[in-house]
Amino acid sequence: MMRPSFGARMMLPALLLLAALSIFPFLFIVWMSFNDVSPIGGLSFDWVGLENWTNLFTDPDVRSSWGISAIYFVATVGLEMAIGIAVALLVHELIWGKNLAISLLLMPMFIAPVIVGLLGRFLVDPTYGLYAWVLNTTGLYTQNILGSKGPALVAVILMDVWEWTPLVTIIVLAGLASMPDEVLEAARVDGANYWQRLRLIVLPLISGIVIVALLIRSMDAIRYFDIIFITTNGGPADSTKIIPIRLYETAFRFFDLGYAAAIGLSMLAFSILVANLFLRMLARQGLAR
């Protein structure tokens, strides 16, 4: 039998500690999902079997939250990818002021999401909000933005897009900077215009880095919480109650920790499925194993 190497033996205590900090909580949450857990009067467990999981697939409120989450997920990630790639291509073509442009573009990303939510709520306030005043003055929209179902969802989506599009931009810019100049120069010499170079050379070369950016933003969008909690808290009439808000409400408003554990595990399963999908896309391009 081969003895573990010296490096493996030195890492073993840290690995055991890491396992204790991650595996035990995960198994505990799985156990909670099969119990009726109440924190009132002391933490108590009452075995209910598959009741929480049955409720998870039959609860219309949870289904509604998953539907809103799907809209939020597709809208935020889709807009962030489209705008981020477009902005990255524009910045990459700059000759002067590129560093200044990148610095200005990255500013929203370094603002805490809670602050973004507070700022957004201030700007769309019907009494003193700048955006609300502009919309009201131009006649485009005269109602309370965060107090109306459709506009509230659009508002929180745009807040998310404003904050995290720069992350996609900087990732794509890194991919653009790594492209071989010789290939692009050869295409120019052969008479290829900008759109032909973009479609046939640039986009195929950066497709791997675009998938990485898509994976990062997708993992974050699935569990996003801060902005919606600060601005609407899931309202009005549950129109912005995505699944993380539903999880928080179930756990810390209704104190149904067992059901909340089942909802959290369903979010984990969905995240794993999305991550595997993107990893397979990377594997097809030979960028992952």
pLDDT tens digits, residue range 58-77? Answer: 999 999 999 999 999 999 99
Name the maximum alpha-carbon separation found in the chain.
79
Amino acid at position 20, single letter: A
CATH value at residue 118: 1.10.3720.10
pLDDT band at 288 (very low <50, low <70, confident <90, very high): low
Q: Is the residue at 149 inside a domain?
A: yes
Residue 68, judged by CB atoms within 10 A of its CB (0-12, 13-18, 19+), counts as buried
Read off the amino acid at residue 172: V
Residue 14 lies in a domain: no
82 is a domain residue: yes
Amino acid sitting at position 216:
I
User: DSSP letter string over 83-120?
Assistant: HHHHHHHHHHT-SSSHHHHHHHHHGGGGS-HHHHHHHH
In a domain, 119, yes or no: yes
Distance CA 175, CA 29 (A): 39
Specify the long-range contacts of residues 223-229, CB closer than 8 Å, at least 24 apart.
223/267, 223/271, 224/72, 224/76, 224/160, 226/112, 226/113, 226/114, 226/116, 226/117, 227/113, 227/116, 227/117, 227/120, 227/156, 227/159, 227/160, 227/163, 228/117, 228/156, 229/117
Distance CA(9)–CA(26), nearest Å, equals 25
Q: What domain range includes position 193?
A: 50-284
pLDDT at position 1 over 60? no
3-state SS assignment for residue 285: coil
Statement: residue 287 has pLDDT above 70 = no
Per the CB < 8 A criterion, the answer to whether 59 and 244 are in contact is no
| Inter-residue contact 165 to 82 (CB < 8 Å) | no
Examine residue 269 and state whether it is found in any structural domain, yes or no: yes
Model pTM score: 0.87
Q: Give the Cα separation of 243 and 241 in Å (integer).
A: 7
Query: Which residue has tokens 């109306």?
Result: 148
What's the total number of domains in the chain?
A: 1
Helix (H, G, I), strand (E, B) or coil at 193: coil
Q: What is the pLDDT of residues 169-205, one digit of tens each?
A: 999 998 888 888 788 788 888 777 878 888 888 888 8
Most confident of 3-17, 211-225, 272-286: 211-225
Q: Is residue 18 part of a domain?
A: no
Instruction: Specify if 26 maps to a domain.
Output: no
Report the DSSP beta bridge partners of residue 45: 37
Mean pLDDT to the nearest integer, 223-231: 90
